[in-house]
């Protein structure tokens, strides 16, 4: 197995830190309305509330039970989607910067570490991200530009100073591992909520925090390496704390998001811990000096800028 190969993993929980917020509920990069949200808003997303109408309340008890049964299932499905959208909304920011330390532990225990700086501009789905590696020396100066699109896969370029040129990364196989980490390129994309079907499958506590457990399956026409993804989203702050990705009902990757901090009003997990369950390898990303909504220029997110700022 090559390091380049990307371990198969289904739908990806959008882990924000590497490039940008994930499509799934995203914690770090989304500007959160958490501070203003009421408990009711958190526990009953808007669309669900619309469903609970006076006519329903005034119906006879037997009929009420039937109506409740008929309405509950779609209501729960809608609920899951609303939760995801809300989580994304709360993670929104106009820009983001952090310093990341990536630690990859192979199945043999061998550990490699890399450091980078990440810059992100734009709203979720239309953002642009530049990552510049700062260590080790062999990769220092290597930079990545990712331009996300809502309706298609992102465009990506890489600048390698030792060769003195940029290259377009051909992401035809998005299951490819992201440069030897346990993330795949697909795991790093910002996803369109409309391309998945969501289902609230229960509630569960993760690290003592109550969470919704939501399943997402790609809709017909959506190409994904994963057949199913599960996310655990905290009820209190809408931060996803765990994802599991499946290929044909077999879990292949698990992402844990911990060390959740409120940064400028956005609840942000500062440690992302991805495990490749097939390879038994692990990648941990620790973010530091995280800042949101700092001034950035569009011009700094171009292929020319990759060269310029080496």
Partner 1 sequence: MILLRLISLPYVRKHLLRSVLTTAGIVLGVALLVSMHSANRSVLQGFNQTVDRIAGKAQLQVSAGDSGVAEEVLERVQAVPQVRVASPDIEASVDTNLRDQGKLLILAVDMTGDRSLRDYDLDNPDEDVIDDPLIFLAQPDSLIVTRDFADRNGLKSGNKIAFTTMEGPRQFTIRGVLKAGGMASAFGGNLAIMDIYAAQKVFGRGRHFDRIDIGLRDGVSLDQGVAALQKSLGAGFTIEPPSGRGRTFESLLAIYTTATGVSSFFAMFIGMFIIYNSFSIAVTQRRSEIGILRALGATRGQIRTLFLAESAIAGVIGSAVGAVVGLAFARTLTRLTGDLMDQMFGIPNRVQEVLIDPRFLLLAVAMGVAMSMIAAFVPARNAARVEPIQALQKGRYQVLGAGENRIRRIVAVAAAAAALVCLPLGANRVIFYVGCLLTLLAGLLFAPTLSLALARLLRRPLKWIRPIEGSLAADSLIQAPRRTSATAAALMLSLALVVAQGGVARGSIESLREWMTGTLNPDLIITESAGLSSHDFRFPPGVQEELQAVPGVEEVQPVRTARIQFRGKPIMIVAVDLLRIAARVHRHVIAGDLDGMNRLAAEEKGVIVAENLAELEKIHLGDRIEIPTPTGTLRLPVVGIIRDLSNQLGTIFLERKTYARSFQDDTIDLFRVYTKPGVPPEEVRRRINETLGGHRRMFIMLNRELKDYIMKVADAWLGMTYIQVVVAMVVALLGIVNTLTVSISDRRREFGVLRAVGGLRAQIRGTVWMEAVAIGIIGLALGVVVGMIFLYYELQAVAHDFSGMPLSYQFPTGIVAMLVPVILGAALVSAIWPAETAVRSSLVEALEYE
Residues 262-281, mask of contacts with partner 1 (x by CB under 8 A): -----------------x--
Our finding on whether 114 is near partner 1 (CB under 8 A) is yes
Our finding on whether 247 is near partner 1 (CB under 8 A) is no
Q: Which is nearer to partner 1, 85 or 155 (CB)?
A: 155
The interface with partner 1 within residues 152-171 (CB under 8 A) comprises 158, 160-165, 167-171
Q: Which is nearer to partner 1, 184 or 242 (CB)?
A: 184
Our finding on whether 176 is near partner 1 (CB under 8 A) is yes
Q: Which is nearer to partner 1, 40 or 152 (CB)?
A: 152
Our finding on whether 173 is near partner 1 (CB under 8 A) is yes
CB of 162 to partner 1, least distance (A): 5
CB of 90 to partner 1, least distance (A): 32
Q: Which is nearer to partner 1, 4 or 56 (CB)?
A: 4
| Cβ neighbours for 173, distance < 8 A, ≥ 6 positions apart | 6
Q: Which is nearer to partner 1, 9 or 176 (CB)?
A: 176
CB of 301 to partner 1, least distance (A): 20
Our finding on whether 310 is near partner 1 (CB under 8 A) is no
The interface with partner 1 within residues 66-105 (CB under 8 A) comprises none
Other beta carbons within 10 angstroms of residue 4's beta carbon come to 11
Sole window of 130-138, 191-199, 253-261, 296-304 interacting with partner 1 (rule: CB under 8 A): 130-138
CB of 156 to partner 1, least distance (A): 9
Print the SS3 string covering the chain: CCCCCCCCCCCCCCCCCCCCCCCCCCCCCCCCCCCCCCHHHHHCCHHHHHHCCHHHHCCCHHHHHHHHHHHHHHHHHHHHHHHHHHHHHHCCCCEEEEEEEEEEECCCCCEEEEEEEEEEECCCCCCEEEEEEEECHHHCCCEEEEECCCCCCCEEEEEECCCCEEEECCCCCCCCECCCCCCECHHHCCCCHHHEEEEEEEEEEECCEEEEEEEEEECCCCCCCCCEEEEEEECCCCCEEEEEEEECCEEEEEEEEEEEEEECCEEEEEEEEEEECCCCEEEEEEEEEEEECCCCCHHHCCHHHHHHCC
Chain contacts with partner 1 (rule: CB under 8 A)? 1-6, 106-108, 110, 112, 114, 133, 136, 138-139, 142, 158, 160-165, 167-173, 176-177, 179-180, 279
């Amino acid at each position: 197995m090559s390091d380049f190969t990307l371990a198969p993993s289904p739908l990806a929980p959008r882990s924000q830190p590497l490039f940008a917020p994930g499509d799934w509920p995203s914690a770090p990069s989304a500007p959160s309305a958490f501070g203003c949200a009421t408990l009711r808003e958190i526990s009953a997303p808007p669309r669900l509330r619309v469903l609970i109408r006076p006519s329903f309340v005034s119906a006879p008890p037997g009929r009420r039970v039937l109506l409740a049964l008929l309405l509950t299932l779609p209501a729960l499905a809608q609920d899951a989607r609303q939760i995801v959208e809300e989580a994304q909304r709360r993670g929104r920011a106009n820009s983001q910067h952090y310093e990341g330390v990536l630690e990859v532990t192979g199945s043999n225990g061998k550990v490699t570490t890399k450091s980078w700086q990440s810059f992100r501009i734009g709203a979720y789905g239309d953002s642009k991200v530049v990552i510049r590696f700062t260590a080790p020396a062999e990769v220092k100066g290597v930079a990545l530009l990712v331009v996300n699109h809502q309706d298609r896969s992102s465009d990506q370029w890489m600048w390698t100073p030792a060769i003195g040129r940029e290259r377009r990364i051909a992401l035809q196989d998005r299951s490819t591992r992201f440069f030897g980490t346990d993330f795949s390129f697909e795991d790093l994309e910002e996803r369109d909520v409309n391309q998945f079907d969501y289902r609230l499958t229960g509630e569960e506590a993760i690290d003592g925090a109550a969470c919704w457990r939501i399943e997402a399956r790609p809709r017909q026409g959506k190409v994904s390496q994963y057949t199913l993804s599960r996310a655990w989203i905290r009820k209190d702050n809408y931060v996803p704390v765990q994802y599991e990705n499946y290929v044909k009902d077999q879990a292949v990757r698990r992402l844990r998001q911990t060390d959740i901090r409120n940064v400028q009003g956005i609840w942000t997990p500062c440690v992302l811990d991805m495990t490749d369950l097939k390879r038994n390898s692990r990648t941990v990303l620790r973010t530091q000096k995280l800042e949101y909504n700092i001034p950035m220029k569009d011009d700094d997110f171009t292929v020319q800028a990759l060269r310029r700022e080496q």
